Amino acid sequence: MVILFLSFRLLLGILCPQNLKRQDVLSWIVLGVLKTLFHNLLVVRNKETMLASGVISLLEEMISNPSSQGPAAALYLNLSCLEEAKPIIGTSPAVSFLTQLLRADVETQCKLDALHTLYNLSGVQSNIPKLISAGISSGLQSLLADSGDQMWTEKCIAVLINLGSSSSAGDEMMSNLSLISALATISTVV
């Protein structure tokens, strides 16, 4: 996998003429890799190899390109299933990216991948301060207010339960009146 990663770096240098943006070429290469290796991402060993070969830095470049946000969210979800990846992702720009996706006008699958990734990350205590500072409470509130779907509601509540294990996060959530209002509305609807 390291050789594959270095090959991509070499291809990026070769395939990036002056009229193409480096970001577009990088997204093209990573999307190709995702198509080719998607079924292998379910295997833990492959995820570990990808993590060790520096896929997080590639993802950090991808998230700035709107056309690659969906694939980036999907790959973050797959990697967030690894215990050793959770603290790495939790301290990266991915947290802000994922919380922004909760409020963004993006495809449903992209938003769902972001929510599930945030759920995985919220189970690690050291990630909670970063999640709170990235605005996860308002992102979850937005989903709760906009969606009447029980699937969204259950996952949002699961994330809130994980966050509530931290006293500072609990205090922040209790001070978010919009979040409390959204939760109260859900309890009367469901």
Diameter of the chain measured on Cα atoms: 59
Distance CA 114, CA 117 (A): 5
Q: Which of 80, 113, 78, 109 is nearest to 98 (CA)?
A: 113
Rounded to two decimals, what is the model's pTM?
0.70
As a whole number of angstroms, the distance between CA 14 and CA 101 comes to 33
Q: Which pLDDT value is given to residue 101?
A: 95
54 phi-psi bin (left φ>0, alpha ψ -120 to 50, beta other): left
**DSSP 3-state percent helix, strand, coil across the chain (nearest 5):** 80, 0, 20
**What is the CATH superfamily name and number for domain 2-189?**
Leucine-rich Repeat Variant (1.25.10.10)
Is it the case that residue 2 has pLDDT exceeding 50?
no
**Residue extents of the structural domains in the chain:** 2-189
Residue type, 71: P
69: buried, middle or exposed (CB in 10 Å: 19+, 13-18, 0-12)? buried
Residue 164 corresponds to which tokens in the numbers above?
A: 């509530």
pLDDT in tens, 107-165: 999 999 999 999 999 999 999 999 999 999 888 888 887 766 777 888 888 888 888 87
- Using CA atoms, how far apart are residues 183 and 84, in angstroms rounded to an integer? 32
Tens-digit pLDDT profile for residues 73-122: 999 999 999 899 999 999 999 999 999 999 999 999 999 999 999 999 99
36 Ramachandran zone, left/alpha/beta (phi>0; psi -120 to 50) = alpha
